[in-house]
Structure 1
Amino acid sequence: MNTSEFAQTLLHWIKEFLSWIGIPRHMLDQLDEALFLVLIVVIAFAFAAIVHTLAVRFTRRILERKNVSFLGSLAKYNVLRKLTAIIPPLMISALLPFAFDSKSEWYVVSEKVTWIYFFIALIFSVNAILNTVGDALKSEQQLQNRPMKGFIQIFQVIFSCIAVIVIVSILINKSPFNLITGLGAFAAVLMLVFKDTILGFVAGVLISQNDMVRIGDWIEMPQNNVNGVVTDISLNVVKVRNFDNTIVTVPPYSLVSGSFINWRGMSDSGGRRIMREYALKLDYIKPCTPEFLEKMKAFDDELAQFITGKQQQAAEGRVANTDNPAGLVNGTIDTNVGLLRAYMALYLRRHPFINKDLDLMVRTLAPTGNGLPVQIYCFSSNKNWPSYESIQAEIMEHFVSVLPVFELYAFQSADARDTIISGLIESGKVDLSAVGGIPWLSVLPTGGQESPGKPGATKN
């Protein structure tokens, strides 16, 4: 039995069934072509459903035994369902000559509808496949930090445009090449409509080629209120999750046309910079006497070794730090500020969370109206934000807590309360233990007074 005889047999069975349910026979004889079309459509979609079911079961069997990321992406984007949607129009197109005469209007209309449906289904299926390929490329180690999503979207746009041109050519019975050549007249309009897409594509190429931004980078663009981590890079937008959990979207070409800060260098380096200072009162800076140096030797063992080493150099007639002039930035024994810098440098070098391989300095800056700034410059080996802030806070808190030991004080603008407390201390007639907010070094443990220049008292 050939295909034509098989089709005629199926049509006869359908007519018999419809006649049995009460449809007049003469009406059925007039609907041969329509019945053939319905039969073809039912067979095509039934076959596609069977293929889809078998493909889904096969994929699930594989996923149950082994976790294949590519097959998981197929299920995520419904690739199998969209691919099997291509089968019906192909089958219908192949079987249409059995239902209609090639010159009949039914044949022409049915063929157009079939091919339009085919290209629409093809757009969805190709887009789903490209999304799956994009996920697979992002899982590759070498391509993880590339904006692959933008390139995938470019291919999707190009293919969709070609498919739309073909669909229009089918509707108007013109060659697709004639339509493409005629697009030159609409180039200006297309440039205007797809301006953002074209700029996004160019920006994506530049970003990828120069490795300017990767997903996961911390970037900062004050002009766009961007200060956070890049979560997505697509053809038209770059999504950034700010540290207050707000989401900011900026066009990719703004990263190319403007300026921004990428903190990836800090993340990839050995540490995160700490650069803070206190301004010291100038009238408390003084030369170190032998008695003061001996007293400070008892404060810290490493500082005692530092002082002893400098004293030996002076006794031998050698200029301090002759072998390492740059070391002068981290302290001397000439003044109490130099001794403070030496102590803080030693403290940082033994700190467990400071990177010793990167720059480490305790230096003075240009004097200001508030005094002499002493700055700590080093790098935290822990780059996690909360941990970094904790380490920085601990160092600066220790810094200010040891200032009175070196007979130094940080500048602080006086207010009315300071004036009142100063008057109470000078009067000596008030029980200072009942007064809150008094500097701890101003009061002896017994409740007596001590001048600011004598830091021997410690009250906790």
Structure 2
Amino acid sequence: MNTNEFARTLLLGIKNLLSWIGIPRHLLDKLDEILFLVCIVTIAFVVAAVVHLLLVRAARKILKRKHLDFFDSLFRYSVFRKSTALIPPLIVSALLPFAFATDSAWFTVSERVTWIYFFIVLMISVNAILNTVGDTLKNDGQLKNRPIKGFIQIFQVIFSCVVVIVVVSILIDKSPVNLITGLGAFTAVLMLVFKDPILGLVAGVMISENDMLRIGDWIEMPQNGINGTVTDISLTVIKVQNFDNTIVTVPPYSLVSGSFVNWRGMSDSGGRRIMREYTLKLDCIKPCTPEFLERMKAFDEELAQFIAEKQRQAAEGKVANTENPDGLVNGTIETNLGLLRAYMALYLRRHPFVSRDLLLMVRTLPATENGLPVQIYCFSSDKNWPSYESIQAEIMEHFVAVLPAFELYAFQRTGARDVLLNGIAASGKADLATMETAPLHTDPSEKQGT
């Protein structure tokens, strides 16, 4: 009763004010309900503005005392303004019975518009809050590399769909449950219209559940021209910055339906793999003579110890070193190639940037028409790309440089100049020692022969 008296007093004051301005009294008497509706709407928005002002001032005072990323995100997404926009429809809905009779058409229309406005503003404010939460979680140390943005967008899509259903049910004055059951006939249309978001939703869940991809991962997907670092993961697109600084976008479901290489395992491990080989000429591989072994003992101190240990094992009748099962893989003293493998294994083990905790070996691969490939397999402890390339180049350059000491030579296709020099050497009309280069190894005994 007191509330009704207040409403009538307020309405009378508005009429007197408008009458004083010059609006006829008989016209004002016909607009009682409209005037009261305008009054309560105005009051509702004024209250919302005051609450917004108080919240902003309080938040700024907190930020002056202590910087918080969460409050920065609140201002970035205008959460205070969007959230306080929920106050007007709530006030208007509570005061509508004082403006109109509950059975009047004006009351029905006003109430529907008020609640539609409320749910639309609620969707906008919830999306802003979710964006704020997403930014805060991305700065968290444990969740920094997780596809948080994709999860946030999933919640936003689900909540937006619920709001749309509720708004439509208000417009047609039907229960949301009845509306949902009636959507079965439009499933095919919805699948067609929202194909990308639905596929992105499923792919995002699979990627997150199986931890297939994180922001900052280096991935390689040749079929889509991708070879770079993941910079963003959302519901409908994944952004990758290639090493040439180009940006490639790809839908999440293409990663799930296809295949891609994720180098995170290498980054998280203790080293980055080096796997390179040179093909050696077969006619240079020969058994080691005692004289050759003695000469090679002076080449490297550790190699001398290896040769001595193998000679001792041979004298004792041991075929292999049972205490070192990879001994035969990483070298023998039976051939000059076996001795080279032993030396390179020793070289890699004492290299300061080769991991000693991961697999290391020097092995031969199946022979080809060009010769016998010898492969270096180890891991660089420095995973930085330029450093890794420098370490790999240093190892392979050293490999080539020591080949002549073991009387081994890499296969190299001959060019026009090589053919010319070989022809001159074969003719016997030039001294090999005075020639600028002799591309193919020539045994000194061949000088007098051919």
Q: TM-score, normalised by structure 1?
A: 0.86
Higher mean alpha-carbon deviation, 354-363 vs 228-237, is at 228-237
What secondary structure sits across from 1:248 in the alignment? strand
In the alignment, which residue of structure 2 is the partner of 1:188? 188
**How much does 1:373 deviate?**
0.8
CA distance in 2 between partners of 1:169 and 1:63 (Å): 42
- Determine the structure 2 residue equivalent to 1:175: 175
Look up the match of 2:243.
243
1:266 paired with 2:270, answer no
Q: 1:96 to 1:323 in 2, by over 3 A?
A: closer
In the alignment, what sits opposite 2:419? 419
Partner residue, 1:84: 84
Q: How does 1:296-335 map to 2 (within 5 A)?
A: 296-335=296-335
Aligned partners of 1:354 and 1:380 also within 8 Å: yes
Matched, 1:158 2:158: yes
1:11-410 correspondence runs (5 A): 11-410=11-410
**Per-residue deviation, 1:206:** 2.9
Structure 2 Cα separation of the partners of residues 34 and 453 of structure 1: 112
SS of the equivalent of 2:383 reads coil
Offset at residue 356 of structure 1 (A): 0.9
Q: Please give the secondary structure, in 2, of the residue aligned with 1:327.
A: coil
Query: More deviation in 341-350 or 105-114?
Result: 105-114
Q: What's the counterpart of residue 457 of structure 1?
A: none
**CA–CA distance in structure 1, aligned partners of residues 321 and 433 of structure 2:** 50
Call closer, same or farther: CA 1:269–1:431 in 2, change over 3 Å.
closer
Distance across 2 between alignment mates of 1:64 and 1:422? 83
Kindly tell me: are residues 432 and 116 of structure 1, through their superposed partners in 2, closer, same or farther at Cα, counting changes over 3 Å? farther
Rounded Cα–Cα distance in structure 2 between residues aligned with 1:191 and 1:130: 25
Q: 1:67 to 1:421 in 2, by over 3 A?
A: farther
Are the equivalent residues in 2 in contact too, given 1:272–1:379 (CA < 8 A)?
yes
Q: What whole-Å deviation, never above 9, does each CA across 1:392-442 have from its counterpart, x for those lacking one?
A: 111111111221222222111111122344467775489979x6xx46x99
Deviations 1:86-115 (A, max 9, x none): 111111122223333334433332222211
C-alpha distance in 2 between matches for 1:111 and 1:323? 87
Q: CA deviation at 1:390?
A: 1.6
Which deviates more, 74-83 or 113-122?
A: 74-83
Percent same amino acid at aligned positions? Answer: 74
Please give the secondary structure, in 1, of the residue aligned with 2:249: strand
Taking the aligned partners of 1:29 and 1:432, their CA distance within structure 2 comes to: 122
Number of residue pairs the alignment of both structures matches:
442
Residue 448 of structure 2: aligned partner? none
Distance 2:38 2:371 in 1: 93
1:183/1:341 CA distance change after superposition, 3 Å: same
Gaps of 5+ in 2: 445-450
* CA separation of 1:164 and 1:305: change in aligned 2, threshold 3 A: same
Secondary structure of the residue that 2:168 maps to in structure 1?
helix
Q: Give the whole-Å Cα distance in 1 for the aligned partners of 2:169 and 2:143.
A: 38
CA contact (8 A) 1:407 1:453 kept: no
Residues 424 and 430 of structure 1 are in contact (CA less than 8 Å); yes or no, is this contact kept in structure 2? no
Q: CA deviation at 1:84?
A: 0.6
Residues 217 and 337 of structure 1: is their aligned pair in 2 closer, same or farther, counting only changes over 3 Å?
same
Shift of the 416–98 alpha-carbon distance from structure 1 to 2, 3 Å rule, reads same
Between 308-317 and 53-62, the greater mean CA deviation after superposition: 308-317
Q: Secondary structure at the match of 1:230?
A: strand
